[in-house]
Chain A
Amino acid sequence: MWLTRPLRERSTQLFLGILLAALALVTLLNLTLPAAHPLHVSTYTVTLLGKYLSYALLAVAVDLVWGYLGILSLGHGAFFALGGYAMGMYLMRQIGDRGTYGDPVLPDFMVFLNWDSLPWYWLGFDMPWFAFLMVLLAPGLLALVFGFLAFRSRVTGVYLSIITQAMTFALMLAFFRNEMGFGGNNGLTDFKELLGFDLRSDATRLGLFIATGIALALGYVVCRAIVASKLGRVSVACRDAEARTRFLGYRVERFQLFVFVVSAMLAGVAGALYVPQVGIINPSEFSPIFSIEVVLWVALGGRATLYGAVIGALLVNYAKTVFTGVMPDAWLFALGGLFVLVTVFLPKGIAGLLDLRIKRRSATSDSTPATGEATA
């Protein structure tokens, strides 16, 4: 089975091992230690870590298209946000009559706008299975349509980056409009419960954290499986010499579309896990700056490695939390400087540094890279 292939790779085993161990450790420290203990991990921190993990999954999705397909998407925030909105709509419907206006069906903001019934696209979101399906389908469909048009007419490189940015920008403007029926400026918030679990309870928050960690693990394995398959090698071929790949008989645009859609769906899942943890989804997730920031995480961690994306996402977001707490003004300087430094001095990111050290160490002992063997 091609999906389980990566489980036999050493690097994937290592990654999953560290991730699962970290999940277990945080859970343990949160549950067993008393709140006063110095090693106790508060529920607030657990939720923060859960947020980072959902960002990490988003970064993995971006790395899949940028690292292996050479498509720099500046619009992945849109897929993330769409997944988030799908989840948010479900959570909104779960509020029921506990909203401020007490309407059993309509969310508060619709009552406020004097709407008398749900718009058609809100139907079905009271059923969790439908909402979770939409978490995948909404971003997937957008990616399918957008990618189909873009790849068919061979829009690549910088052009593609710019129009993905325009796409997310247009969506942001659209979602800001009250008439769209997604809560406009304020977005969706005041969630109460998810699948019957109270979102404010500590147990639910820990559960969400663990779920996000597992989603990251699964997403990583899926990406790794794609990357390690022949399809992954075709993707790399498309990245490095698109025309040549076409002459070999591959329908480049279909491969690009496939990977792009998979990546968009992963981003959607990340968004869906993000929303219940931060308790709000609003159009700012569509902002072009957010999308380009995600790209920085990947660049810092090291592209075309997947685990690098995870490292980058965790590091930058941790730094952001620290900075904005201590000296908020300096954060944009730091972020801007990071963009410049990483691209100019660290083109392969942190993973590149790690790689160098490993290579130096193994240079003496082992001379045959295992790429050919791994394909078996």
Chain B
Amino acid sequence: MRIPDSLCRLVVLCLLAWLPWVAQAQDDPGQTLLESLDTTSYVEKGEAIEAIIASGDERSRRWLEALLGGKLQRHKASGQFVVVLENRGRHWPVVDALGFEEAGEMSRRELDRIGINNALRGQLQGALAVLDLHADEVDERREAARALLGDIDATLAEPLQALIDSEEDGEVRRLLEQALAIHRLGQGEMAAVEDLAGSLNSRVRAALSSASRSDDPQLAQAAGAALVDIEQKMKLNRGLETLYFGLSLGSVLVLAAIGLAITFGVMGVINMAHGELIMLGAYTTWAMQQLLPGQPGLALLLAIPAGFLVAALAGVAIERGVIQFLKGRPLETLLATFGVSLILQQLVRTVISPQNRTVVSPDWMSGSIMINEGLSLTLNRLYVLGFALVVFAGLMLVMRRTRLGLEVRAVTQNRAMARSMGIRATRVDILTFALGAGVAGLAGVALSQLTNVGPNLGQNYIIDSFMVVVFGGVGNLWGTLVAGMSLGVINQVLEPWAGAVLAKIVVLVFIILFIQKRPRGLFPQKGRAAEG
């Protein structure tokens, strides 16, 4: 009962697919290329494959892969080339081989397979391996060359040599030569060791290390020496990587702490809800992405001012609602703002969700930059690092160059005197607090790109942030920068041989001991004002 039904549908679909295809197929060079494959002579088929490779057509890979898998077929009636998606059952779902749009289902009896023999199979495999080496984009060619390392056999060696000669990009040439050298090393060629020396590629290392166990003592020794050399470079790389991760962690700490450095360091106000202001910034990013679905990049950029504003407003509310009543009672301020932090956390749990929310990273932030073959830097961390430095520089500018900064410093040093000079201390308090809170919001926006966004986000950073501020010396923004960065690096250096948790404990204990030794931090304020 159902078969005629579906058959009808099929026919209609085919008819529908037919019309545009006819028009399109006329002027597509791909059509000609595929036509030339449809021949009974395997020699001609071989030539057709060569032609497809040489064409540089971006669909080549899919065609050749389909051909290799026996999935490139031709509709008997219309002559349309299709790629079979799944050849189980009687009706196969297919896509058009030119445009790759879906073309419904076709009965296996309507289709002709374009067959290949073993010789062609070998040719195809080799061709696929080097196919991307013909790509127009240099990056694609590099990627393809890299993939070839260690995967070269005798059949490929020869065409590769020809490709090297015609290649324009030096990097691709180098990679291909390396690939060849690995092959030559496998054959026991001494000169290959020299060609491979100094490369950090893991496949090169694997090849060298197997060569170092070879029966030929000379080759083994040469390969061993090359390995030691590479090991050394790797060590340097690992050092650099640790440094990078350390700086990245440090930049997060600086971002989290710098707002605190303003409210705590400059105003002397302990804000235990600082972590929750960070959390608000992160949630603002999430909310922005909900408002602008499909545009994570734009949402993220908009979240920067929005996160600042949201956190700053929350900060002003905290200052006006709680802190202003507790002037000169730092311990009470600490307790009250801790209460605020509990309320904010629970608010997020109740209003949004106790579960973590995912914030999407835009494309331009994912991926990584490759410095060399053993070292690549993830982009999102790099962006956050840069962002932290920009925020820091911005804050320094505000504090050093603007009227607000001047007034803040004046109020910090002598409140009564500043007031008598006509500075409205209350207004300065509010603005300073808003600034510190806003920067916490910025930290939240940045953090949303690195970690999960959840109600506990802020709590995880509050103790660390205080440690950074205290370690750096209260009231000193430079101190915060140096302290944050160095704590980040120390943490990462310790981590490999102590584990993440123990590293954190060690750092905490270190700071506790450090404060005993220098109660005023790395960069203390000196003189009579500090004695108070």
Q: In their complex, do chains A and B touch, with some C-beta pair under 8 Å?
A: yes
Partner among A165, A332, A340 whose Cβ is within 8 Å of the Cβ of B463: A165
- Residues of A contacting B270 in the complex (Cβ-Cβ under 8 angstroms): 158
Smallest Cβ distance from B453 to chain A, in angstroms? 19
Whether B387 is near chain A, meaning CB under 8 Å from some CB there, is no
Query: CA A344 – CA B512 in complex, angstroms?
Result: 31
- B517 adjacent to A337 (CB under 8 Å): no
Whether A288 is near chain B, meaning CB under 8 Å from some CB there, is yes
Binary contact track B346-370/A, C-beta < 8 Å → 1, others 0: 1101100000000000000000000
Known: A292-B338, A329-B346. A167 touches B512 (CB 8 A): yes
- B343 adjacent to A155 (CB under 8 Å): no
Known: A154-B519, A155-B516, A166-B508. A292 touches B335 (CB 8 A): yes
Residues of B within 8 A of A (CB): 270, 322, 325-326, 329-336, 338-343, 345-347, 349-350, 463, 466-467, 470, 501-502, 504-505, 508-509, 511-513, 515-517, 519
Known: A149-B516, A163-B470, A336-B346. 5 other contacts (CB 8 A): A167-B508, A295-B335, A296-B339, A336-B343, A343-B336
Interface positions of A from 34 to 93, Cβ below 8 Å from B: 72
Known: A149-B516, A155-B519, A159-B515. A296 touches B335 (CB 8 A): yes
- Residues of B contacting A288 in the complex (Cβ-Cβ under 8 angstroms): 463
Whether A335 is near chain B, meaning CB under 8 Å from some CB there, is yes
- B339 adjacent to A337 (CB under 8 Å): yes
Interface positions of A from 292 to 306, Cβ below 8 Å from B: 292, 295-296, 299
- B504 adjacent to A159 (CB under 8 Å): no
- A170 adjacent to B336 (CB under 8 Å): no
Known: A329-B349, A344-B322. A177 touches B501 (CB 8 A): yes
- Residues of B contacting A295 in the complex (Cβ-Cβ under 8 angstroms): 335
- A337 adjacent to B349 (CB under 8 Å): no
Which DSSP category, helix, strand, loop or mixed, fits chain A's interface?
helix
> What is the chain B residue whose CB lies nearest that of A339?
B339
Partner among A146, A150, A159, A174 whose Cβ is within 8 Å of the Cβ of B470: A159
Whether A152 is near chain B, meaning CB under 8 Å from some CB there, is yes
Partner among A153, A165, A173, A335 whose Cβ is within 8 Å of the Cβ of B505: A173
Interface positions of A from 152 to 182, Cβ below 8 Å from B: 152-155, 157-159, 161-163, 165-167, 169-170, 173-174, 176-177
- Residues of B contacting A299 in the complex (Cβ-Cβ under 8 angstroms): 332, 335
Smallest Cβ distance from A261 to chain B, in angstroms? 17
Partner among B332, B501, B511 whose Cβ is within 8 Å of the Cβ of A343: B332
Whether A347 is near chain B, meaning CB under 8 Å from some CB there, is yes
Smallest Cβ distance from B81 to chain A, in angstroms? 61
Smallest Cβ distance from A281 to chain B, in angstroms? 20
Residues of A within 8 A of B (CB): 72, 146, 149-150, 152-155, 157-159, 161-163, 165-167, 169-170, 173-174, 176-177, 288, 292, 295-296, 299, 329, 332-333, 335-340, 342-344, 347
| 19 A-B interface contacts by CB (under 8 A) | A155-B516, A159-B470, A162-B463, A163-B512, A166-B512, A169-B463, A169-B508, A170-B505, A170-B509, A173-B508, A176-B501, A332-B343, A332-B345, A339-B342, A340-B322, A342-B335, A343-B326, A343-B336, A347-B329
10 smallest CB-CB distances across A and B, nearest first, come from A339-B339, A336-B342, A336-B343, A332-B346, A170-B508, A343-B336, A149-B516, A336-B339, A343-B332, A340-B339
Known: A152-B516, A339-B336, A340-B336. A166 touches B342 (CB 8 A): no
- Residues of B contacting A329 in the complex (Cβ-Cβ under 8 angstroms): 346, 349-350
> What is the chain A residue whose CB lies nearest that of B517?
A153
- Residues of A contacting B470 in the complex (Cβ-Cβ under 8 angstroms): 159, 162-163
Query: CA A174 – CA B508 in complex, angstroms?
Result: 11
Query: CA A340 – CA B466 in complex, angstroms?
Result: 21
- B340 adjacent to A340 (CB under 8 Å): yes
- A161 adjacent to B512 (CB under 8 Å): no
- A166 adjacent to B463 (CB under 8 Å): yes
- Residues of A contacting B349 in the complex (Cβ-Cβ under 8 angstroms): 329
Query: CA A329 – CA B322 in complex, angstroms?
Result: 23
> What is the chain B residue whose CB lies nearest that of A162?
B466
Query: CA A347 – CA B331 in complex, angstroms?
Result: 11
Smallest Cβ distance from A2 to chain B, in angstroms? 30
Smallest Cβ distance from A93 to chain B, in angstroms? 27
- B330 adjacent to A347 (CB under 8 Å): no
Query: CA A159 – CA B466 in complex, angstroms?
Result: 9
Known: A150-B516, A163-B512, A166-B467. A347 touches B332 (CB 8 A): yes
> A159, A295, A338, A339: which has the most chain B beta carbons within 10 Å?
A339
> What is the chain A residue whose CB lies nearest that of B332?
A343
- Residues of B contacting A336 in the complex (Cβ-Cβ under 8 angstroms): 339-343, 346
> What is the chain B residue whose CB lies nearest that of A344?
B325
Query: CA A159 – CA B512 in complex, angstroms?
Result: 10
Smallest Cβ distance from B455 to chain A, in angstroms? 10
Partner among A152, A167, A333, A343 whose Cβ is within 8 Å of the Cβ of B335: A343
Smallest Cβ distance from B449 to chain A, in angstroms? 25
Smallest Cβ distance from A295 to chain B, in angstroms? 6
Query: CA A158 – CA B268 in complex, angstroms?
Result: 10
> What is the chain A residue whose CB lies nearest that of B507?
A170
Known: A335-B342, A339-B342, A340-B322. A158 touches B334 (CB 8 A): yes
- Residues of A contacting B466 in the complex (Cβ-Cβ under 8 angstroms): 162, 165-166
- Residues of B contacting A296 in the complex (Cβ-Cβ under 8 angstroms): 335, 339
- B519 adjacent to A333 (CB under 8 Å): no
